[in-house]
Structure 1
Amino acid sequence: MIKRLHESLEFPNGWWKGALASAAITVLLLGCGGEGKTPEAKGADQGVAESNEPAELSFYAASTSMTKPLFDEKIGKPVQQKYPHYTVQYIAPNSKISDLIATGTVPDIYWLTLTEMRSTLLQYRLQSDISDLIAKNKYDLSRFDPAAVQTIKNVSGDGKLFGLPDSFNPIVLFYNKDIFDRFGVPYPVNGMTWDAVYELSRKMTRTESGVSYRGMGMFYRLVFNGNQLSLPLIDTVSAKPLASATPGWKRILDNVKRFYEIEGNLSGFKPGTDGGNSDLNAFLTENTMAMLMSPLSSYNRDGFQKVNWDMVSAPTFADMPQTGFQAEPRIYFISGGKNREQAFKAVAHLLSDEVQVKNNKEGQLTSLKDTEVRKTFGQQTAALSGKNTSAVYFNQFAPTPALNSAVSTDPATILAREFNDVIIGKQDVNTALRNTDEKVKKAIEEEAAK
């Protein structure tokens, strides 16, 4: 029995939209796995002892993509099949954590990105170290990409483990094949440097038959948030803002800025406070942008099916070959409530090879490092059919810097808003970095005063 606490609206632009649609497609299951077994057959729950005790577990995801039907399919159903005596309650994404706490409904399991974690777990101090559950169940953390586990440990600031990684959403370079074909320019390839992509962007930025084409757009807030130099914007110990005092931040902003300085590459650019989401929308709707830097999950946006697109790995700095962006995993966090042991068992099942292979085939990129499991990515996802799925694991994830777990302020959003004024010529990079520090400092002070 799956209970729901709140009704939710259906949002079309989530990570899972294409995955659910494609799950209905019947596809021949390809056998792949070590020792003559498919990844599904290797599953189990990594030795976690099963539980016969009943439990009521509540589940919360901040992402509006986690609708009730999706929750039933991806969370409720597999947990209930494994533990029929568990009741899993769905909490709608539009529910306020403060209201839930006030009514005594603190979720047992959270499905969050690091950014979402700041405004939920950290802001309300709901995080819980699950190291004891890892040890008690002899749970094997080596199954996961090491970058994902280290990211979660860095979140705590002192090596504690607040949750386990479910999936990745790496930044990739999308491109419009029709535009490249129109100009007779070879497509981008995996492993390009930033300089090579910059030159390609210059070549693709032009006006033909009265139509202005942009070589490159970026979801730059996320480019900053998961930056390849692994630079934090807030000091782990002192909570001091670091943007203007860290030379690497100027390098990052200057690198992105040069793309927007290409003559003609601001044609149709829509200034705003969305950190580059408008560039993503332009790639989908205007059919005049040759390339786009954006998270993998963007392919589920409405309009992508109308673009003749493919993707390659994100460009890298020449002195850091194959160092991509940070992992930014979506994580199952477990709170410190009375049901934390049962919540851990439920999460362990959701992270089993069996469930992960199914999700990976349906377009949710697994955090498991097993090569055979990774090879299944997108096999049952119509939107990824024929696409260069090798792009998603081509680069290594950059290390995620340690965070200050006492601060819930999102500095990357503040930096992106300042950078927006750099793009449109209202201020230079150094001013943007100084302004970012001032606004981050003020936000932290206001948070501390609450």
Structure 2
Amino acid sequence: MLKKGMTAWLVLPLAAISLAGCGNMPETKEQPAGAVPASGNAPAELVFFSNSADSQESFNERFGDAIRNKFSNYTIKYIKKEKGSLLPDLIASGQPIDIYWESIGGFADGLIGFDMQYDMTDLAKKYKVNLESFEPTIMDALKQLSDGKLYGLPVFNNSMVLYYNKDIFDKFGVPYPKDGMNWDEALELGKKLTRSEGGVQYFGLGVTQLHILRMNPFSLPLVDPKTDKATIGNDNWKKLYSSVFINPAQDQGYRAKIEENKNKLPSETYDPFTKTRVMAMSGAITSLPSIRAEELSAFRWDMVAMPTFKELPGVGPQAYPTYFSVTKQSKYKEQAMEVIRFLASEAYQTEAAKKGVFMPVLKSDAVKKAFGQENAQFKGKNIGALFYNKYAPIPEKSKYNGVAQSMFEKVIGDLALGKTDMNTAFRTVEEEVNKAVEAEKKK
């Protein structure tokens, strides 16, 4: 039975792009806990689906070809989300889905919302999956989503990092940013680079609001899952909005750009950093080098860890993992589990990390150090920035977060321009979110 009032939580861009140039993953033999009895390698057709709308090419490059090399007796089929093959269409037509994958934001609405969840605990024990090998916050969040059971395993991860344009820093003779900065230090650095030169307005610092709201280091959900009320009244939201959105935009040239953008910060998109190259520092998702590979190749860039808040030393943004799940309706649960275990294995995670395909989900230092070793794009880059800070705990997700997102974002422009004060803006957000949630409940 489908849940009423389900709201889609937008999937981060990594899941919706083709990672060109990564190549096929080589066959890997190791598993997280060594060899175990297989399911007999009986032939099976395993059908994959995700609400990410990932392309066939991207699926094959990241997962499909490696799975086919490892399990030659399995037929691997991927159904791309598109008109006529949306999840409700597939379920209505009786099309089986053996393995469903989804980012943490859409996991509950997809897998659980369509009653496809299956407790994989016994399968994990049978195939000796070491659940302690994964990043703890990623598994803690999965337990929350699974109501204490095991509805999936993490396969790839995302988070945030601070990218910077070396050319802009060199142009103005400003020292490069460093790992371990707090927000006060980052803001002071940004002020030195927010200036107009030769008819070009440069912006010192910007952060993509979509991602920092979702992965905020204070571990705040947008909507409290227990009360279904907006959390905007929490004082930590004031600290985040001030440091991340308002304070970087106090220069008149910065404000003029916001007005030109119809109350949208220039950092709302990646373009000012990767395309027009007027943003000196950009806090963005860790998958940006995959999303904008060609644009990034045109200038000298690097990265450092996201600045931290003084109240949370050493704590960065949250992880944003994607989980792979054996579904309730699958006729090939053991074969599906074998495949997922392979994707979560240290061997596969290492190979994927070397190619810079995605951030690993394992806590192994060896896997983390392997990141980007075989990808020329990351040569000479500060890879350690990706893992410099601890992940903030992932809060319990409300199914109404998606309803609240646009309302949390809508007031940012007016706040940055000084057209409203924070108390007034936050009261408006609170009223609108709570009203929208109640309307959603009645659908």
- Same-fold call, TM > 0.5? yes
Q: How big is the shift at 1:425?
A: 4.5
Q: How big is the shift at 1:273?
A: 9.4
Question: In the alignment, is the contact (CA less than 8 A) between 1:378 and 1:384 conserved in 2?
Answer: yes
CA RMSD of superposed structures (Å): 2.8
Task: Label 1:90 to 1:22 Cα distance change in 2 as closer, same or farther (>3 A).
Answer: closer
| Match of residue 79, structure 1, among 67, 81, 86 | 67
Unaligned runs of 5+ in 1: 1-12, 30-39
Question: In the alignment, is the contact (CA less than 8 A) between 2:32 and 2:130 conserved in 1?
Answer: no
Amino acid at match of 1:209: G
The number of equivalent residue pairs is 421
Task: Provide the residue aligned with 1:260 in structure 2.
Answer: 249
Task: Provide the residue aligned with 2:5 in structure 1.
Answer: none
- Of the structure 1 ranges 185-194 and 47-56, higher mean CA displacement relative to structure 2 is found in 47-56
| Equivalent position SS for 1:311 | strand
> 1:301-380, aligned counterparts within 5 Å?
301=292, 302-338=294-330, 339-363=332-356, 364-380=358-374
| Match of residue 375, structure 2, among 376, 381, 386 | 381
Task: Report the Cα distance in structure 2 between the residues aligned to 1:274 and 1:114, rounded to whole angstroms.
Answer: 27
Q: How big is the shift at 1:46?
A: 4.4
Task: Report the Cα distance in structure 2 between the residues aligned to 1:361 and 1:394, rounded to whole angstroms.
Answer: 18
| Match of residue 137, structure 2, among 125, 141, 147 | 147
> 1:34-433, aligned counterparts within 5 Å?
43=31, 46-51=34-39, 52-64=41-53, 66-94=54-82, 95-156=85-146, 158-244=147-233, 246-256=234-244, 257-269=246-258, 271=261, 278-300=268-290, 301=292, 302-338=294-330, 339-363=332-356, 364-404=358-398, 407=400, 409-433=402-426
Task: Report the Cα distance in structure 2 between the residues aligned to 1:276 and 1:220, rounded to whole angstroms.
Answer: 10
Task: Report the Cα distance in structure 2 between the residues aligned to 1:276 and 1:142, rounded to whole angstroms.
Answer: 41
Q: How big is the shift at 1:111?
A: 2.6
Task: Label 1:18 to 1:96 Cα distance change in 2 as closer, same or farther (>3 A).
Answer: closer
Cα distance per residue 1:229-265 (max 9 Å; x no partner): 1112222323232222x22222222222211224433
Task: Report the Cα distance in structure 2 between the residues aligned to 1:109 and 1:334, rounded to whole angstroms.
Answer: 5
Task: Report the Cα distance in structure 1 between the residues aligned to 2:81 and 2:266, rounded to whole angstroms.
Answer: 23
- Of the structure 1 ranges 68-77 and 219-228, higher mean CA displacement relative to structure 2 is found in 68-77
Cα distance per residue 1:53-105 (max 9 Å; x no partner): 332221123334x3212222332222223322322221113342121221122
Question: In the alignment, is the contact (CA less than 8 A) between 1:191 and 1:322 conserved in 2?
Answer: yes
Task: Report the Cα distance in structure 2 between the residues aligned to 1:278 and 1:248, rounded to whole angstroms.
Answer: 21
Task: Report the Cα distance in structure 2 between the residues aligned to 1:294 and 1:229, rounded to whole angstroms.
Answer: 17
Task: Label 1:166 to 1:368 Cα distance change in 2 as closer, same or farther (>3 A).
Answer: same
Question: In the alignment, is the contact (CA less than 8 A) between 2:162 and 2:283 conserved in 1?
Answer: yes
Q: How big is the shift at 1:317?
A: 0.9
TM-score normalized with structure 1 length = 0.85
Amino acid at match of 1:147: T
Q: How big is the shift at 1:340?
A: 3.0
Amino acid at match of 2:160: I
| Equivalent position SS for 1:386 | coil
Amino acid at match of 2:392: A
Task: Provide the residue aligned with 1:445 in structure 2.
Answer: 438
- Of the structure 1 ranges 279-288 and 111-120, higher mean CA displacement relative to structure 2 is found in 111-120
Task: Report the Cα distance in structure 2 between the residues aligned to 1:273 and 1:103, rounded to whole angstroms.
Answer: 45
- Of the structure 1 ranges 247-256 and 74-83, higher mean CA displacement relative to structure 2 is found in 74-83
Is 1:21 aligned to residue 21 of structure 2?
yes
Task: Label 1:22 to 1:88 Cα distance change in 2 as closer, same or farther (>3 A).
Answer: closer
Q: How big is the shift at 1:138?
A: 3.3
Task: Provide the residue aligned with 1:9 in structure 2.
Answer: none
Amino acid at match of 2:68: Q
Question: In the alignment, is the contact (CA less than 8 A) between 1:166 and 1:366 conserved in 2?
Answer: yes
Task: Label 1:408 to 1:259 Cα distance change in 2 as closer, same or farther (>3 A).
Answer: closer
| Equivalent position SS for 1:207 | strand
Q: How big is the shift at 1:327?
A: 0.9
Cα distance per residue 1:194-231 (max 9 Å; x no partner): 00000001111112233221111210121011111111
| Equivalent position SS for 2:122 | helix
Cα distance per residue 1:315-366 (max 9 Å; x no partner): 0012321100011112213322233332221100111122111111111111
TM-score normalized with structure 2 length = 0.86
Cα distance per residue 1:11-57 (max 9 Å; x no partner): xx7569685414489xxx9xxxxxxxxxx775466455312233222
Task: Report the Cα distance in structure 1 between the residues aligned to 2:435 and 2:89, rounded to whole angstroms.
Answer: 26
Q: How big is the shift at 1:398?
A: 0.4
Task: Report the Cα distance in structure 2 between the residues aligned to 1:408 and 1:320, rounded to whole angstroms.
Answer: 24
Amino acid at match of 1:56: E
Task: Label 1:207 to 1:306 Cα distance change in 2 as closer, same or farther (>3 A).
Answer: same
Task: Report the Cα distance in structure 1 between the residues aligned to 2:270 and 2:421, rounded to whole angstroms.
Answer: 24
Question: In the alignment, is the contact (CA less than 8 A) between 1:118 and 1:408 conserved in 2?
Answer: no
- Of the structure 1 ranges 352-361 and 126-135, higher mean CA displacement relative to structure 2 is found in 126-135
State the percentage of identical aligned residues: 34
Task: Report the Cα distance in structure 1 between the residues aligned to 2:314 and 2:411, rounded to whole angstroms.
Answer: 29
Task: Report the Cα distance in structure 1 between the residues aligned to 2:29 and 2:66, rounded to whole angstroms.
Answer: 16
Task: Label 1:274 to 1:260 Cα distance change in 2 as closer, same or farther (>3 A).
Answer: closer
Unaligned runs of 5+ in 2: 1-12
